[in-house]
């Protein structure tokens, strides 16, 4: 009753608009933590921006069930430049949940003319799908590994032309670790390992005879990745030619160490550093829009194409649920057209 009275008093002094109701909602009703409240504000503001553009108004009475449906359709239709949807079904469901809670509160205080506009809006299906379309292509894999090999020749060289006529004669910047960075790229590409797992690799957990890299994965479970002969040789080169000098400072069990010139570190690389190394190599390789996880998807697709065995994918990538491994058996529309065109 007290809240109703406050809203009636405020309403006499303010227009019946949704921005007013939003402020009243957060001031009088929302009692969640700061982070959650910020998320709710962002989701509600997203709808208000959409309504303002569509209706040129934020009048409460203009929010209808059809407008809600149009908003959900808008969220599903927006794509980024790389073809990715801006909002996943999971994110849209969160937005729907926040709007439902808000409209239910408003409707209780002051009913909408056509009923609660979010009442018949249902959440979207969220399936266990992987974005395998973003996997590295065979050509991209080859170019990335070639760029990783070039690190030993021109990697880390100063771009100041006054220091040398060509890249090979210029000095290498302090703290650059070409063998380490090359081994990291090979580990990502030749195992399908997540970047966080690369950071967590420890030398005592490596089986050099069987070429097994055991590591603590998501969910605190250990998983052993097999690596190609070429990938393992890149790791061995790093261990023999570069790591010992850095180990004198850090004395860490981590496989991949920060450079000894780094002032602050716990003797282990961060996922952010893995991203930096990956992006630098991709730029040299001319590969755009691909992340370390693209290498993981490429490994899954490669094993499926070679073996046709879901269990083999699951064994290499460490999926707890086989449904994720089965995703690599899917065929994209472009791949299907290619198969049909090749039929004789």
- Give the tens place of pLDDT for each residue, 99-128: 999 999 999 999 999 999 999 999 887 655
DSSP secondary structure string for all residues of 39-84: HHHHHHHHHHHHHHHHHS--BGGG--HHHHHHHHHHHHH-B-TTS-
Cβ–Cβ < 8 Å for 68, 117: yes
**What pLDDT, on a 0 to 100 scale, did the predictor assign at position 81?**
73
Q: Average pLDDT for residues 279-307, to the nearest whole number?
A: 93
Q: Average pLDDT for residues 140-155, to the nearest whole number?
A: 93
% of the chain beyond a pLDDT of 90: 61
**What pLDDT, on a 0 to 100 scale, did the predictor assign at position 102?**
95
- Give the tens place of pLDDT for each residue, 5-24: 555 444 455 689 999 999 99
pLDDT level of residue 332 (50, 70, 90 thresholds): low
The residue ranking higher by pLDDT, 118 or 169, is: 118
Question: pTM of the entire structure?
Answer: 0.61
Cβ–Cβ < 8 Å for 313, 304: yes
Q: Average pLDDT for residues 138-159, to the nearest whole number?
A: 87
Give the number of other CB atoms < 10 A from CB of residue 202.
15
pLDDT level of residue 2 (50, 70, 90 thresholds): very low
Structural domains in the chain plus CATH codes: 2-109 (no CATH), 132-341 (1.10.443.10)
**What pLDDT, on a 0 to 100 scale, did the predictor assign at position 173?**
73
**What pLDDT, on a 0 to 100 scale, did the predictor assign at position 154?**
78
**What pLDDT, on a 0 to 100 scale, did the predictor assign at position 258?**
94
**What pLDDT, on a 0 to 100 scale, did the predictor assign at position 163?**
53
- Give the tens place of pLDDT for each residue, 40-76: 999 999 999 999 999 999 999 999 999 999 999 999 9
Half-sphere exposure of 219 (CA within 13 A, CB side): 7
**Eight-class DSSP state of 192:** -
Q: Average pLDDT for residues 29-50, to the nearest whole number?
A: 90
Q: Which of 33-42, 182-191, 222-231 has the lowest mean pLDDT?
A: 33-42
Work out the angle at residue 311's Cα, subtended by the Cα atoms of residues 320 and 130, and round it to the nearest 5 degrees.
55
Q: How far is CA 244 from CA 203, 285, 321, in A?
A: 12, 29, 39
The residue ranking higher by pLDDT, 249 or 344, is: 249
Q: Decide if pLDDT at 161 tops 60.
A: no
pLDDT level of residue 286 (50, 70, 90 thresholds): very high
Q: Decide if pLDDT at 1 tops 50.
A: no
3 state DSSP class of 135? coil
Average pLDDT over the chain reads 86
Distance from C-alpha of 210 to C-alpha of 256, rounded to nearest angstrom: 20
**What pLDDT, on a 0 to 100 scale, did the predictor assign at position 310?**
86
């Amino acid at each position: 009753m007290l809240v109703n009275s406050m809203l009636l008093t405020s309403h006499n002094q303010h227009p019946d608009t949704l921005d007013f109701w939003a402020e009243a909602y957060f001031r009088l009703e929302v009692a969640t933590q700061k982070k959650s409240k910020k998320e709710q504000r962002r989701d509600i503001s997203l709808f208000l921006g959409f309504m303002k553009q569509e209706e040129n108004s934020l009048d409460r009475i203009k929010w209808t069930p059809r407008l809600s449906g149009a908003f959900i359709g808008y969220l599903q239709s927006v794509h980024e430049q790389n073809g990715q949807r801006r909002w996943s079904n999971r994110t849209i469901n969160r937005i729907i949940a926040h709007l439902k809670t808000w409209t239910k509160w408003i409707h209780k205080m002051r009913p909408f003319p056509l009923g609660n506009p979010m009442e018949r809006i249902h959440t979207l299906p969220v399936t266990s799908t992987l974005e395998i379309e973003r996997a590295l292509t065979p050509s991209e894999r080859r170019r990335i590994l070639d760029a990783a090999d070039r690190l030993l020749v021109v990697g880390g060289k100063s771009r100041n032309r006054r220091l040398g006529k060509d890249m090979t004669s210029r000095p290498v910047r302090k703290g650059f670790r070409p063998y380490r960075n090359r081994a990291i790229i090979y580990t990502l590409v030749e195992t399908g390992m997540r970047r966080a797992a690369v950071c967590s690799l420890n030398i005592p957990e490596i089986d050099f005879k069987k070429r097994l890299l055991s590591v603590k994965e998501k969910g605190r479970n250990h998983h052993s990745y097999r690596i190609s002969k070429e990938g393992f040789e890149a790791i061995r080169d790093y261990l023999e030619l570069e790591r010992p000098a850095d180990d004198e400072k850090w004395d860490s069990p981590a496989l991949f160490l920060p450079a000894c010139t780094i002032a602050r570190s716990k003797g282990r690389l961060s996922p952010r550093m893995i991203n930096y190394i990956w992006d630098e190599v991709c730029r040299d390789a001319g590969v755009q829009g691909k992340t370390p996880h693209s290498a993981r998807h490429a490994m899954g697709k490669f094993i499926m194409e070679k073996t046709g065995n879901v269990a083999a994918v699951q064994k290499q990538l460490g999926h707890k649920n086989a449904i994720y491994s089965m995703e690599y058996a899917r065929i994209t529309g472009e791949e299907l057209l290619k198969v049909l065109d090749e039929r004789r």
